Structure 1
Amino acid sequence: MASPAAAGTAAPVFASRPSGALRFRPRGRWDDSIPPTLRPLVRAYLLGYASAVTPRLLTLLLQHLTRWEQAKKQGKHDSEQQQKQQTGDPFSKALERILHGGLDPRRFPTFCAALVGGSTLLEAPFMVALDKLPASLSDAARKRLSRWFACFVAAWLSLRLLQSKQSPGFTENGPIPSAEPPGVAYQTTRYAGRTLDLTLFAFTRAVDVVTGELWSRRRAKRQAAGRWTALEAAVSRLTDPAIFALSSGLIMWTWIYLPSRLPRSYNKWIGSAAAVDPRLIEALQRCRTGELIYGQETGQASLLGGMCDDYNWPRSWGDPAVSVPFPCEMVHMGTGPSCELHALSRFGRSFRWAMATYLPLNLLLALRNPNRAALRRALISSSRSSAFLGAFIALFYYGVCLARTRVGPRIVGTDPKARQCIDGGICVGTGCFLCGWSILLENAGRRKDMALFVAPRALASLLPRRYPWDKQWRETVVFASSTAIVFTCVAENKSRVRGVLGKVLGSVLTP
């Protein structure tokens, strides 16, 4: 009779060595009992479920603990316990709603299973169909084409499944214009765009795969010929930092002038990290739109006048008809007139704020294998990431100051029109250009992951969050084509899909 290991079970067994000693045979993988053709589908579903549910569970837990602590401090804990006995525990209801919500067939876990499972299960039928092509086509090319078409079809159908679920943010109810009498009959209008972030993520990854492969071939040829130059080597090193700097600069510009184009969570997080008085942001916005004009009375003195009162500054500082421009000390928000000291103080505050987030997370990761080296790595990683974020914020503010006070007036001029031009976009643009280069403080591995993380979000700021439903097929084509490129590349050259995504896809798609 076959042993448990030979039967494919995960049970440990002992085997005898020639000397008669016993050795322990390691356990098999958790999915060894699943047929190989179905393993990618199951892995994808479980991974999608975990990624969809875990953040919501953590948020629920933190909210519950916060409310419990507040109620305990206020002496309301006993009364809340009595209320729970009468009406039921809201925590358990929310927990049940989150766990069941992930099982909805039109949500992310099913999308992942359909995408990965479809791409693997459809490959064989497409291979049979492609056997009818001319014999001049090599077997490798046939296999590549069959994999690409299978991924394309699976990506198309899975995204359509995700798009089929209605969302309140992409649905509007309004009267039918031709109804008689007017205003009596209503219709529901659906908009596309709910899956735009996912599509842009796939698109940027596909572009990275294609350009990376082309550049790798060029480098190999030129290095073999001894013609690889220092400029080309610098381009290789600086491409990821440049992508991050450009993308993050575009996101910061959007946050200042077009915040509605960013997700609400993005706006909230950037606002917390920037720690800026919203009246300053509004003043810069009004400078750009022409509502606030230096040297003219346009009724805008009250905007920054209240800020002057809060910080005990002369009220005339906030009057654009009198103060041309408003002093840079107002941008410093109480740290004094020096732009350099303000940048240093921003770095210090942001560093401490980031360490409070990064250090606990890295220490938790170090607990997997607790030792002195793991603790040292956790401290170094937290410090480096915190220095990056601190430098990001400090460079943004110092870029604003450079344009407003240090360099800008010497180039653009000091008359009211020049000052209007500086505060109407040049100062913010300078800060946006400089801030992203703080990525050079991170290690090379983190640079590529962060560059590929922010690039699709920067692209999303250039596109409308909602668009007509009948144009959705264009997005579906882009997603399906991009995903087919990435999945085909993972099957043939796993290392070409850079960063964490390549490792995850490699582990999921392996039979």
Structure 2
Amino acid sequence: MASALRSARSKGPLSFKSLPAALRPLIRAYLLGYASAVAPRLLTLMLQFISKKRKSAKKYLSSDRDERSFKESAFRILRTGLDPRRFPTFCAALVGGSTLLQEPLLKIISRVATQLSAGSQLRLARWLSTFISGWLSLQLLQSKQTKTSPSSSWTDSGLAAVQQGLSEASTGAYGGRTLDLTLFAVTRAADVLVGELWSQRRSRRKATGKWTAIEQLMSRLMDPVVFAASSGLIMWAWFYSPDSLPRSYNKWITSAASVDLRLIEALRRCRKGELVYGKETGQAPLLGSMCDDYGLPTEWGDPAKNIPFPCDLVHMGCSPSCEYHAISRFLRSWRWSMLTYLPLALALQLRNPKRINLAKAITGSTRSSTFLATFITLFYYGVCLARTRIGPRVLGKDIPSRQRIDEGVCVGTGCCLCGWSVFIETAGRRKDMALFVAPRALATLVPRRYPLEKQWREKLIFAASTAVVFTCALENPKRVRGVLGGILGMVLKK
């Protein structure tokens, strides 16, 4: 069975048996890069066109102009993907360079470093070839100048995740256009190195009978801890420094949170010292308008009179009870998540109509929806715990304590709690989710732009990180976890 699967895979559309073996990885990388760069934009364009066509039909308007615009936009997307300084060419240069340079470098190393074993020489040749191609391919991307903001767009799929930061760029004498791509490479290299070191330690400890239950527990908790810590950093950034997040990611979190933005602004002003309890600072209209909209007394929104403002505002008029609000929030978030996940799961099942498994699609969607609903609920209830249930009993009920709670303790509590909902997901999904959010969390800790003269540092970090990942993918493919490992295994094979 296994041999049959390998045979079928080797005869797939990306096998390219008619091409020289050295060129196959390059061609695969370019085609996959082109598909990941073009397909999401074409899909978005199609959905927009269908939506416009339905509206035009209802109004009995001619859609000829829309059709011409659709064709022109689609052609522009297809043509833009062929630009030699965009993502597809970057993929081809990175993968092709790492494979084509390997043999010449191996010959040089075998002559110069004769003291090294054959295996070490091959490993060094692979690392150096990928390092050189990584440096040059990133330089290729950085040479492309655009007129957009330094924010970037992240997507969910494994290959498209490598595209972070390539759709938008900084301008002027600043670098940072490819920063998200570099952070993605850094986190994957760190995962490879830490995983390999831990695996070696586990093998040694088990061989000597010293492997303990605590170490086994640490192995199982590693991915959940990474996810929880990363999620906390991301949610903190979403609250207090949203510009450090990619624009599309920030927008998605806001949509999932379904929160009145005036509440977020009030908590931000607390942290900035603009909204101060017990003092008249002109902030009453902000929450006062919320009170009016949700049928609550207007004076509840005046921080000079109400210390603190009631949790009813956090609940947005749902109920005075924090627990009732948490349950209500869970149910609403679960419904919203199911409407998102279930169609995607069903669409994925259609990839192989002969093996459609509706039960699997529904079960997976239900689990993922429960995870996301729990994530959102824990965040909100964490805020309530700090503001109402536990915080005042621990920190105090005086005005300075109330100010300190709303300055960041309440949001911090929600950030600390929400990520642990990952335990609802399977172990395999926890791994993928941890690898997905870790680069985004790291991006909140570094500047989005930096002086152009320091761009060589980013190229150095990217090239070294990519060299680690590619070398490991060739020597120990299972160590490169998640979707990326499967993609690299498929692309790099000759």
TM-score, structure 1 normalization: 0.89
1:28 equivalenced with 2:28 (yes/no): no
1:41 equivalenced with 2:26 (yes/no): yes
Give the Å deviation of 1:225: 1.2
Equivalent in the alignment of 1:72: 57
Equivalent in the alignment of 1:102: 81
1:346 equivalenced with 2:329 (yes/no): yes
The CA distance in 1 between the partners of 2:223 and 2:258, in whole Å, is: 28
Q: Which amino acid aligns with 2:438?
A: A
Q: Report the CA distance shift for 1:377/1:475 in structure 2 as closer, same or farther (over 3 A).
A: same
Give the Å deviation of 1:71: 1.9
Q: 5+ unaligned residues in a row in structure 2: which ranges?
A: 1-7, 151-170
Q: Report the CA distance shift for 1:324/1:125 in structure 2 as closer, same or farther (over 3 A).
A: same
The CA distance in 2 between the partners of 1:443 and 1:276, in whole Å, is: 29
Query: Any residues of structure 2 matched to 1:132-147 within 5 Å, and which?
Result: 132-147=111-126
Give the Å deviation of 1:107: 0.2
Q: Report the CA distance shift for 1:399/1:233 in structure 2 as closer, same or farther (over 3 A).
A: same
The CA distance in 2 between the partners of 1:248 and 1:291, in whole Å, is: 27
Which of 295, 310, 328 in structure 2 is aligned with 1:312? 295
Equivalent in the alignment of 1:429: 412
Which of 126, 138, 152 in structure 2 is aligned with 1:159? 138
The CA distance in 1 between the partners of 2:75 and 2:149, in whole Å, is: 26
Equivalent in the alignment of 1:119: 98
Equivalent in the alignment of 1:54: 39
Equivalent in the alignment of 1:486: 469
Equivalent in the alignment of 2:196: 213
Q: Report the CA distance shift for 1:473/1:380 in structure 2 as closer, same or farther (over 3 A).
A: same
The 3-state SS of whatever aligns with 2:173 is strand
Which of 207, 214, 217 in structure 2 is aligned with 1:231? 214
RMSD of aligned C-alpha atoms? 1.6
The CA distance in 2 between the partners of 1:135 and 1:314, in whole Å, is: 82
Which of 48, 61, 65 in structure 2 is aligned with 1:63? 48
* Counterpart contact for 1:384–1:441, Cα < 8 Å: yes
Q: Which amino acid aligns with 2:288?
A: G
Q: Report the CA distance shift for 1:26/1:392 in structure 2 as closer, same or farther (over 3 A).
A: closer
The 3-state SS of whatever aligns with 2:408 is helix
Report percent identity of matched pairs. 63
Structure with greater helix percent: 2
Equivalent in the alignment of 1:174: none
1:471 equivalenced with 2:457 (yes/no): no
Q: Which amino acid aligns with 2:213?
A: A
* Counterpart contact for 2:275–2:281, Cα < 8 Å: yes
Equivalent in the alignment of 2:241: 258
Equivalent in the alignment of 1:150: 129
Q: Report the CA distance shift for 1:145/1:318 in structure 2 as closer, same or farther (over 3 A).
A: same
Equivalent in the alignment of 1:176: none
* Counterpart contact for 2:349–2:356, Cα < 8 Å: no
Equivalent in the alignment of 2:153: none
Q: 5+ unaligned residues in a row in structure 1: which ranges?
A: 1-24, 172-187
Equivalent in the alignment of 2:481: 498
* Counterpart contact for 1:170–1:192, Cα < 8 Å: no
Q: Deviations over 1:50-101 (max 9, x none)?
A: 000010001000111111112222232x3x43x46xxx71000000000000
Q: Which has the larger radius of gyration?
A: 1
The CA distance in 2 between the partners of 1:219 and 1:455, in whole Å, is: 24
Query: Any residues of structure 2 matched to 1:65-464 within 5 Å, and which?
Result: 65-76=50-61, 78=62, 80-81=63-64, 83=65, 89-169=68-148, 189-370=172-353, 374-464=357-447
* Counterpart contact for 1:170–1:190, Cα < 8 Å: no
Q: Which amino acid aligns with 1:385?
A: S
Equivalent in the alignment of 2:163: none
The 3-state SS of whatever aligns with 1:132 is helix
Q: How many residue pairs align between the two structures?
A: 465
* Counterpart contact for 1:170–1:194, Cα < 8 Å: no
* Counterpart contact for 2:387–2:410, Cα < 8 Å: yes
The CA distance in 2 between the partners of 1:261 and 1:243, in whole Å, is: 19
Q: Deviations over 1:362-409 (max 9, x none)?
A: 112223445797111111100010001000000000000000000000
Q: Deviations over 1:28-67 (max 9, x none)?
A: 3431111111000000000000000010001000111111
The 3-state SS of whatever aligns with 1:38 is helix
Greater alpha carbon shift after TM alignment, 143-152 vs 368-377:
368-377
Greater alpha carbon shift after TM alignment, 432-441 vs 27-36:
27-36
The CA distance in 2 between the partners of 1:345 and 1:379, in whole Å, is: 22
Equivalent in the alignment of 1:18: none
The 3-state SS of whatever aligns with 1:473 is helix
